[in-house]
Amino acid sequence: MKKWLLTMLFSTALVLGACGGGGDDNGGENSGGDNGGSTTDSAAAEEIYESNCASCHGADLSGGAGPDLTAVGADYSADEIADIIQNGKGSMPAQDVSDEDTQTLSNWLAENN
């Protein structure tokens, strides 16, 4: 039980630590730099991930029952990730996530590579 609690606390600290400290004041959105000018609301994406994906893919994207997603953007485009979310792939079933949330989540995951 203590090991699980420490793991969850450490994972939460990693996720929260990745969110802050950038010094930019754009409300948690990516400035768009190398991804064609599109913006992804990281805070919203992380919330969607936490409520829909973390139970299988881990709180820190490192995997669990589902595969590691830390570098999923190196293997799939945002559109391919959205298709996997909506239609499932392999043993992953289709997810009941709105189109807007799917786009937010798939763009965020595609940036993680």
Question: What is the C-alpha end-to-end distance of the chain, expressed in Å?
Answer: 32
**Between vectors from CA 27 to CA 24 and to CA 31, what angle results, nearest 5°?**
55
Q: Which residues carry a binding-site annotation?
A: 53, 56-57, 92
Q: Which residues carry a binding-site annotation for heme c?
A: 53, 56-57, 92
Look at residue 66 and give its three-state secondary structure.
coil
Supply φ then ψ for residue 15, to 5 degrees: -65, -45
Q: CB of 60 within 8 A of CB of 15?
A: yes
